[in-house]
Copies of this chain bind each other. A is one copy, B any other.
Amino acid sequence: MSLVVVGSVAYDGVETPHGTVERMLGGAATYIALTASFFTKTSLVGVVGNDFAEEDRALLKEHDVDLEGLEAADGKTFFWKGVYSKDMNERETLDTQLNVFAEFDPKLPEVYREQPYLFLGNIHPGLQKGVHEQMHNARFVGGDTMNFWIEGEAEALRAAIRNWDFLLINDSEARQLSGEYNLRKAAEEIHKMGPHTVVIKRGEYGAILFRPEGFFVAPGFLLETVYDPTGAGDSFAGGFMGYLAEQGVTDIGMATHQHLRKAMIYGSVMGSFCCEQFGVGRFRTLERADIDERFEEFRKFTEF
């Protein structure tokens, strides 16, 4: 069994108060697949150009990420460049070159279509829906979205998420999607749109899991230095879904509270590691023991 992850594979240029990197491996699907791979077998669906480096492909393979679904198209890989504010709570996009990603039309290898776990990274909601429909046996389906689709593709987005089990979304986007400022009310509105499980990300403040029966608050980790927050939300997604898959939770509706809460903490753990180096740097050397150690740190600074 495998977790199928769909989304962008990219090169990023990033400038933070701690330095500048002109070009490094990035993209939502890269972060999600890499972080989930510490917990479960992962399969990647995306597209790259012929500039995609062999060493980047090798990194994914080292983490046992199946790349049969990673299409190699003629052209350049998606490129994004941004600069973070001094406090890193804001970022400005300096350059976006969609390149081969502009024509991305995800086609799933046969073996992927039989998998129970699907995470739909932030792409056009119509494509998300199309992928979901290719997955005959998907029993645990979630995804992410962004303001761009909430504003411009509201109807397609509603249609896509109607059958999702969970939606992962940041606080401002949850407010935008629901029309409610208060997060409890926002989550209630989103439940009505389909997903019974809503995870609202709050950046450095952590994330909240909302289910009709209650909520759970996961704090962010207090890093001494945040080098680069790019991909932290996607790393949260990988930790959250990866852990549940590892535990054999094939139906999130039936997951125990204990599993869901731990998944939230593993999400926060992976998000925190992500910020410790530029890009996916930290995941090159990270080991499962480091993850469990930080999980225990979360317990230490929250238990009362």
In the complex, the answer to whether A261 meets B219 with C-beta atoms within 8 Å is no
In the complex, the answer to whether A222 meets B214 with C-beta atoms within 8 Å is no
Residues of chain B with a CB closer than 8 A to A222's CB: 183-184, 208, 215, 217
Q: How far is the CA of A26 from the CA of B181 in the complex (A)?
A: 27
In the complex, the answer to whether B304 meets A217 with C-beta atoms within 8 Å is no
- What is the oligomeric copy number? 2
Residues of chain B with a CB closer than 8 A to A183's CB: 222
Residues of chain B with a CB closer than 8 A to A219's CB: 206, 217, 219
In the complex, the answer to whether B205 meets A205 with C-beta atoms within 8 Å is yes
In the complex, the answer to whether A182 meets B258 with C-beta atoms within 8 Å is no
Cβ contacts A179-194/B at 8 Å (1 or 0 each): 0011111000000000
At the interface, yes or no: A148 with Cβ under 8 Å from chain B?
no
Size category of the binding interface on chain A: 20 to 34
Q: How far is the CA of A303 from the CA of B202 in the complex (A)?
A: 19
In the complex, the answer to whether A225 meets B182 with C-beta atoms within 8 Å is yes
At the interface, yes or no: A141 with Cβ under 8 Å from chain B?
no
Residues of chain B with a CB closer than 8 A to A215's CB: 222, 301
Instruction: Return the chain B residue nearest A86 by Cβ.
Output: B181
Cβ contacts A219-232/B at 8 Å (1 or 0 each): 10011111000000
In the complex, the answer to whether B224 meets A185 with C-beta atoms within 8 Å is yes
Q: A residues bordering B, Cβ < 8 Å?
A: 86-87, 181-185, 202, 205-206, 208, 214-219, 222-226, 258, 261-262, 264-265, 298-304
